[in-house]
Structure 1
Amino acid sequence: MAIHSMNYKNGSENGFMETTHDGLVISTGEHNWYDDSDFFAIVWNPEKQVEEEITYATTRFPTYGNYAEVDFDKEKYGADYERFNRICSFVSYMESTYSLFGNKSDKGKLVEVVKGRKVPIGTIGTIFSVKRNDYSEYNACVMIKTEDGKYLNTYLFNLKPVHPTYEQKSEAWLRLVGPLDDTFKSFL
């Protein structure tokens, strides 16, 4: 049944329930901020052939009664839906391969030291091991192995992942999505 929200047009105190994006809602979610939350829906825009995020409710002010339901019409937009799923798998692959999470899945990722005192800034190496801190996920102790075989200890917050090259991105896109196109350019 898409996105349902109260519409107060022309300054009316008694709004009416408006339904938008019927048959286009792919998923719903919530952004949790410091003291408020925003509720959003990922919808398919058939004109632009892209997905969009629509915020339909928040805790910043009253949005009682607003809700969204997943109702993507796979029969009507089937080819687009399959393409969307392939693009999502590309994004997931890039994130898991080139982002740091502070856990054992980071082992083998190429990183660069960007701050700290003990390891020289600019040092590049692969993550050899990760020891999580029980009190802070971001404060994990990481051992990296440099190209010359040295093992160096630092903290996760001193590192940044080495970003993928154009060739690595295009290879992943070709494997997971298909031919390079305008959508691929938006990920560069």
Structure 2
Amino acid sequence: MALLARVLWNIHRKADTLWVQWVNSVYLRGGSVWEWQPKKGDSPLLRRLADIRDRLITAFGTTGAAVESMAAWSNLKGLETSKAYEYFRPKHTRQPWKATIWRAFIPPKYSFILWLGLRGRLATRDRLAFLQEDPTCSLCINTNETAEHLFFECPFSACVWLISGSG
């Protein structure tokens, strides 16, 4: 999206390239890229540029505000893709457990297993039901095997916790 925003900016400022000149003469016909509406037969690239343009206008409220924001992302050579990328990049909330899991002194395979467990992605028998195997725990053969059962409820894992001194 950042690269397409850069193309949109080049069309807006009528950059001195053959393709931009062609788009301006064939599609825009002297009009503005901010007012142009794609037609059914237009290329998917141009329709995608119009989608990004509409997304920017919606996000910033007006066409003028969108142009000002994109101008803030640009330098003398054109739009800085890194600034556009920072705008379009999905922003997720920080996970406090990440700093605890990914430490240099923790072997990566343990960090990875813990990460899978926190995301609910461990390959336990309840998640592998599509293999049509017996879903019961292979250690205690009493309950269905889930991550919670394996680590906290299974009598065999409870013995491991007691022996290790962590339980």
TM range (shorter): under 0.3
Q: Taking structure 1 as the reference length, what is the TM-score of the superposition?
A: 0.21
- Compare the two structures and name the one with the higher helix fraction: 2
- Compare the two structures and name the one with the higher strand fraction: 1
User: Larger radius of gyration, structure 1 or 2?
Assistant: 2
